[in-house]
Structure 1
Amino acid sequence: MSDAEKSGFISKVIGPKKRWRAYRARVKELPESHRMAVEAIERYLMHFVPTNADSNASMFEDLADLFEQAAADGTPIREVLGEDPVEFVEAFAQNYSEGGYAPSRARKQMVDAIERATSEDTGQEDETV
């Protein structure tokens, strides 16, 4: 893949760089447990590559909005995501994408990361490795 192809693919995944950097700065300011959950969801969402970069940028910005509001309200991560983070994220992504896929490995990684984030959010130790 040439540099131009890589740049085009990256822009398709994350949208305009300026919006991506602003989104990442917002995520960095979240409480650690909320940031961990957003980063897990973000990695998973990278498997949903809409054809419209603006749509993808909006998706990440809306994700940041959701978790900023949850953090400000003191809403636990499980109340935001429900018991099935895969179901939540796939429904969330459908609002922005007609395509994409999420292999089972990506699902497991996201679920494991959410478990770690929620145990930190509630102050419990995570017993899974």
Structure 2
Amino acid sequence: MAKNFLELIIGSFDDKKQWRAYRARVKALPTEYRTAVEAVERYLMHSGDTPADWDRAARMFEDLAELFERAAADGTPVREIVGDDPLEFVETFVRTYSDGGWIERERERLRKSIDRATGEEADS
């Protein structure tokens, strides 16, 4: 009961363990790869492109870590992974996991609100 109460307040312990395991994997990468993953991670966190669904987001971050772990093991240069345009890489990568994110939900909310305001609301 105490665990459920605490999880209700601070979130799932399993999710936090999963995140810490991901962060440990990233920390173990060679500097060049770790820096690249952290840059991608920071961009995703600040851009709103991270999936809202935790399971999808966790899978995305784990796949990101795996991609860079494999590249490091194979000696593949970071630039060969992300290409000339890191933004294009990230947008392509995240598209695989995207649920539209908060920005897409807000766009849809705006469309529906304007439709209601103008009497153009579609019959459901």
TM range (shorter): 0.5 to 0.7
| CA offsets 1:93-122 (integer angstroms, 9 cap, x no match) | 1111132379xxxxxxxxxxxxxxxxxxxx
Matching of residue 41 in structure 1 with residue 40 in structure 2: yes
Which amino acid in 2 is paired with 1:52?
D
Whole-angstrom CA distance in 2 between matches of 1:70 and 1:84: 18
Corresponding residue number in structure 1 for 2:80: 79
| CA offsets 1:50-90 (integer angstroms, 9 cap, x no match) | 23100000000000000000000000001001111001101
Whole-angstrom CA distance in 2 between matches of 1:60 and 1:93: 10
Whole-angstrom CA distance in 2 between matches of 1:85 and 1:101: 22
CA deviation after TM superposition for structure 1 residue 18, in Å: 1.0
Which amino acid in 2 is paired with 1:80?
I
CA deviation after TM superposition for structure 1 residue 48, in Å: 1.6
Normalising by structure 1, we get a TM-score of 0.65
Whole-angstrom CA distance in 2 between matches of 1:101 and 1:39: 22
CA deviation after TM superposition for structure 1 residue 34, in Å: 0.5
Written as runs of structure 1 = structure 2, the 5 A alignment for 1:51-70 is 51-70=52-71
Larger radius of gyration: 2
Written as runs of structure 1 = structure 2, the 5 A alignment for 1:89-100 is 89-100=90-101
In 1, are the aligned partners of 2:50 and 2:94 still within 8 Å (CA)?
no
Q: How many residues align?
A: 94
Whole-angstrom CA distance in 2 between matches of 1:48 and 1:62: 16
Normalising by structure 2, we get a TM-score of 0.67
- Comparing 17-26 with 91-100, which one deviates more in the overlay? 91-100
Whole-angstrom CA distance in 2 between matches of 1:51 and 1:45: 12
Whole-angstrom CA distance in 2 between matches of 1:42 and 1:101: 17
